[in-house]
């Protein structure tokens, strides 16, 4: 198990390999489909983004309203491939170092991760209540009118994830399947 302190450094990211289990403590931001569409539009127009993303982690989640005593409600990952059309440009323009979601990514995202020195991590789908326990604070930092799809700043402690795609081109989904192929 590797422990990561967010925001991430280039060195931290370059040392990660597909299959590594990580515990993340520090700050991460949320962004789902609607927020990605707005971020992409700002990048295309050369406009400033509402948050500084250099070295940051983006978690594809829309946390539900918090229960009493919790910072956030259920916070399970959403399907990452929905963000694929926006990801290469986002990585190139911002210096984001990690993305967290569930499911596979397309070849263009894999290439962008390698080119930009970033990683894609998977969080366990269906474990939103457990993952919410790792969130110490949650506050909207951009586009509150988007509701759960607004951009949130999360402070997390020992948030569990697995490196699926690393900055060296490793892909856990591909290597895992190849181990079990019949000759």
pLDDT digit string (tens) for the chain, length 183 residues = 999 999 999 899 999 999 999 999 999 999 999 999 999 999 999 999 999 999 999 999 999 999 899 999 999 999 999 999 999 999 999 999 999 999 999 999 999 999 999 999 999 988 999 999 999 999 999 999 999 999 999 999 999 999 999 999 999 998 877 677 666
How much is the pTM? 0.95
Nearest residue to 33 via CA among 73, 104, 74, 85: 85
- CATH (residue range 2-179): 3.20.130.10
Query: Which of helix, strand or coil describes residue 59?
Result: strand
Q: What are the φ/ψ torsions at residue 119 (nearest 5 degrees)?
A: -130, 155
Nearest residue to 36 via CA among 77, 89, 74: 89
């Amino acid at each position: 198990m590797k422990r990561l302190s967010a925001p991430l450094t280039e060195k931290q990211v370059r040392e990660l390999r597909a299959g590594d289990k990580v515990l993340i403590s520090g700050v991460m931001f949320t962004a789902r489909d609607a927020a990605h569409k707005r971020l992409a539009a700002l990048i295309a127009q050369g406009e400033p983004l509402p948050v500084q993303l250099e070295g940051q982690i983006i978690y594809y989640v829309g946390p539900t309203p918090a229960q009493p005593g919790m910072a956030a409600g259920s916070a399970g990952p959403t399907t990452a491939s929905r963000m694929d059309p926006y990801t290469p440009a986002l990585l190139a323009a911002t210096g984001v170092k990690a993305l967290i979601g569930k499911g596979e990514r397309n070849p263009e995202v894999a290439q962008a991760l390698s080119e930009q020195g970033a990683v894609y991590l998977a969080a366990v789908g269906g474990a939103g209540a457990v993952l919410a326990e790792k969130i110490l604070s949650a506050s909207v930092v951009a586009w509150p009118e988007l509701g759960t799809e607004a951009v949130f700043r999360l402070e997390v402690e020992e948030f569990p994830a697995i490196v699926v795609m690393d900055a060296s081109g490793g892909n856990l989904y591909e290597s895992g399947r190849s181990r079990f192929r019949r000759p």
